[in-house]
């Protein structure tokens, strides 16, 4: 049953009206960041709808680090920029807010200030009665106040478990769960933990940009010069180097394969700057920094095995690492720490402790599987297929309401 907040009536009409010819608000991360699940879903939906993408409203308190200071100045600069159509039917707004929600005074200011910014953008674009798809829990401050026809909270992480989470975010998110017409989660643990807030909670696991990462298998795809001549095996990682990555484990892998190379692609997050220092001076660990999304298949082509070396905690147990499906689409065997959503994937080996993790790397290297077989096994999990799952859930909800 899909009910609109504070109204005992159906507002979802039919699937075509929901996901075709609609105006959709998307509260998410910054558009210029690495493409995440939200990016891929909105790109599919933009084929038939207009999207107002609202760049990140802070979920965590900034620090005095150089990176956070630069980010603050970048936010201030972009706030002055007009709405921009970055891709057909996708318009980006750069909002501004105080990154804390603990006091009622600040919360009230943020709510009014953000509402003014978003409503102004909606008027400019002619957005009326939009579908509000919220990926950022801080946007719960605005949900239900934008004349939305429906609210969907698409929850892909246990946000309140992030390091440095902004004060008051937990309460805002819990209220967002309750007021949403539907909640979508991306992992079994999220479903178990969050369904108590909203009975209309469903799982849609992540998809993959299969055609993009499949390019790794193309003969024309070249391995980048940075890694093509590195000693083998090349054990690779791409993604944010945050504090949920197990750097002690990476150190042990580098020591075990001192004759080979450990390649780490991605920017180092503020919260990981101290932890990553454990890898200082290890000559076969190669930090390559963030790379353009378009080039990731090239780097994957040079990997012999791919890593998902997460620490095990409440945050990661509820995670559904997008990178794992990307590795698989590129035809790579994956070795991961014991994350439940990875266990269900074919061609992923799970290490239950550091020693076992290294044994699984050794197994993958000694028992290679044809890349086409690995890639083909994940082909059906496209982002188009995930949007179809969303349509089907809405359809079932409508049919259930009629009964």
- Read off the pLDDT of residues 280-329 as tens digits, 9 standing for 90 and up: 999 999 999 999 999 999 999 999 999 999 999 999 999 999 999 999 99
Average pLDDT over every residue of 58-68: 51
Cβ atoms 61, 68 nearer than 8 A: no
- The phi and psi torsions of 172 (rounded to 5 degrees) equal -65, -45
The answer to whether the Cα torsion of 325, 327, 330, 335 is positive or negative is negative
- The phi and psi torsions of 206 (rounded to 5 degrees) equal -65, 150
- Pairing type for strands 84-87 and 90-93 reads antiparallel
Angle formed at CA 243 by CA 241 and CA 249, multiple of 5 degrees: 80
Q: Which residues contact 67 (CB under 8 A, 6 or more apart)?
A: 270
Please, which pLDDT band fits residue 350 given cuts at 50, 70 and 90? Answer: very high
Q: Is the pLDDT of residue 75 over 90?
A: no
Q: Residue 221 and residue 271: Cα distance in Å, rounded? A: 34
Residue whose token pair is 């402790």: 353
- Give pLDDT, residue 168: 84
The answer to whether the Cα torsion of 319, 364, 326, 248 is positive or negative is positive
- Give pLDDT, residue 3: 37
Q: Residue 323 and residue 175: Cα distance in Å, rounded? A: 30
Please, which pLDDT band fits residue 279 given cuts at 50, 70 and 90? Answer: very high
- Give pLDDT, residue 123: 96
- Give pLDDT, residue 105: 73
- Give pLDDT, residue 69: 44
Q: Residue 180 and residue 198: Cα distance in Å, rounded? A: 8
Q: Is the pLDDT of residue 370 over 90?
A: yes
- Say which range, 72-81, 97-106, 361-370, 374-383, has the weakest mean pLDDT: 72-81
The H-or-E segment that residue 365 falls in is helix 354-366
Strand partners, 67: none
Most distant CA atoms of the chain, gap in Å = 66
- Give pLDDT, residue 396: 78
Strand partners, 231: none
Q: Residue 139 and residue 136: Cα distance in Å, rounded? A: 6
Q: Residue 38 and residue 201: Cα distance in Å, rounded? A: 18
The per-residue pLDDT for range 241-256, each reduced to its tens digit, is 999 999 999 999 999 9
Residue whose token pair is 């709808």: 49
Task: Give me the DSSP letters along 313-347.
Answer: SHHHHT---HHHHHHHHTT--EEEES-HHHHTSTT
Average pLDDT over every residue of 168-182: 94
Q: Residue 308 and residue 321: Cα distance in Å, rounded? A: 8
Cβ atoms 157, 319 nearer than 8 A: yes
Q: Residue 399 and residue 132: Cα distance in Å, rounded? A: 22
- Give pLDDT, residue 68: 39
Range list for CATH 3.40.50.2000 in the chain: 15-206+382-402, 210-376
- CB burial of 49-71 (b: ≥16 within 10 Å; e: otherwise) equals bbbbbbbbbbbbebeeeeebeeb
Written as six digits, the tokens of 391 are: 């349509």
Give the percent of the chain with pLDDT over 90.
Answer: 77
- What rounded mean pLDDT belongs to the chain? 89
Please, which pLDDT band fits residue 73 given cuts at 50, 70 and 90? Answer: very low
Cβ atoms 244, 158 nearer than 8 A: no
For the chain, what's the residue count?
403
The per-residue pLDDT for range 94-113, each reduced to its tens digit, is 998 766 566 677 777 778 88
The yes or no reply on domain 15-206+382-402 and CATH 3.40.50.970 is no
- Say which range, 195-199, 311-315, 391-395, has the weakest mean pLDDT: 391-395
Average pLDDT over every residue of 170-184: 95
Q: Which fold has domain 210-376?
A: Rossmann fold (3.40.50)
HSE toward the beta carbon, residue 84, CA cutoff 13 A: 12
Beta strands in 16-117 (DSSP E): 23-27, 50-54, 84-87, 90-93
- Give pLDDT, residue 192: 97
- Give pLDDT, residue 302: 98
- Name the more confident of 225 and 105: 225
Q: Is the peptide bond before 233 cis (omega within 30 degrees of 0)?
A: yes
Task: Give me the DSSP letters along 30-59.
Answer: -TTS---HHHHHHHHHTTTSEEEEEPPPPS
pTM listed for this prediction:
0.89
Please, which pLDDT band fits residue 8 given cuts at 50, 70 and 90? Answer: very low
Q: Which residues contact 131 (CB under 8 A, 6 or more apart)?
A: 18, 22, 23, 24, 25, 148, 149, 150, 152
């Amino acid at each position: 049953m899909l009910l609109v907040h504070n109204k005992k009536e159906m507002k979802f009409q039919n699937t075509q009206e929901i996901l075709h010819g609609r105006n959709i608000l998307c509260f998410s991360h910054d558009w210029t960041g690495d493409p995440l699940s939200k990016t891929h879903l909105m790109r599919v939906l933009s084929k038939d709808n207009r999207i107002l993408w609202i760049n990140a409203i802070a979920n965590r308190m900034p620090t005095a680090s150089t990176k956070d200071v630069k980010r603050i100045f970048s936010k201030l600069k972009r706030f002055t920029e007009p709405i921009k159509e970055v891709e057909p039917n996708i318009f980006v707004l750069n909002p501004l807010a105080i990154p804390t929600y603990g006091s009622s005074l600040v919360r009230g200011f943020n709510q009014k200030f953000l509402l003014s910014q978003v409503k102004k953008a909606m008027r400019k674009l002619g957005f009326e009665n939009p579908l509000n798809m919220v990926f950022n829990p801080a946007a719960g401050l605005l949900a239900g106040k934008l004349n939305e026809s429906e609210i969907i909270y698409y929850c892909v992480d246990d946000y309140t478990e992030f390091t440095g989470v902004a004060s008051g975010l937990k309460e805002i998110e819990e209220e967002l769960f309750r007021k949403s017409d539907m909640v979508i989660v991306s992992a079994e643990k999220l479903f178990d933990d969050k369904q108590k807030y909203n009975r209309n909670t469903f799982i849609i696991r992540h998809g993959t940009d299969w055609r993009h990462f499949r390019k790794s298998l193309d003969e024309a795809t070249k391995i980048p010069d940075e890694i093509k001549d590195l000693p083998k095996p090349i054990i690779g990682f791409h993604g944010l180097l945050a504090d949920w990555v197990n750097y002690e484990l990476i150190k042990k892998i580098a020591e075990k394969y001192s004759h080979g190379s450990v390649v780490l692609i991605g920017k180092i997050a503020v919260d990981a700057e101290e932890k990553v220092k454990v890898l200082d001076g290890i000559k076969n660990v190669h930090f390559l920094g963030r790379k353009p999304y378009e080039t990731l298949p090239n780097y994957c082509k040079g990997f012999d095995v791919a890593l998902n070396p997460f620490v095990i905690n409440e945050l990661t147990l509820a995670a559904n690492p997008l990178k794992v499906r990307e590795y698989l689409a590129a035809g790579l065997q994956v070795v991961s720490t014991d994350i439940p959503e990875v266990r269900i994937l074919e061609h992923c080996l799970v290490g239950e402790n550091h020693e076992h993790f290294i044994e699984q790397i050794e197994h993958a290297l000694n028992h290679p599987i044809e890349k086409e077989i690995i890639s083909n096994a994940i082909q059906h999990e496209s982002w188009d297929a995930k949007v179809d799952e969303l349509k089907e859930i809405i359809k079932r909800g409508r049919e259930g309401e009629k009964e």
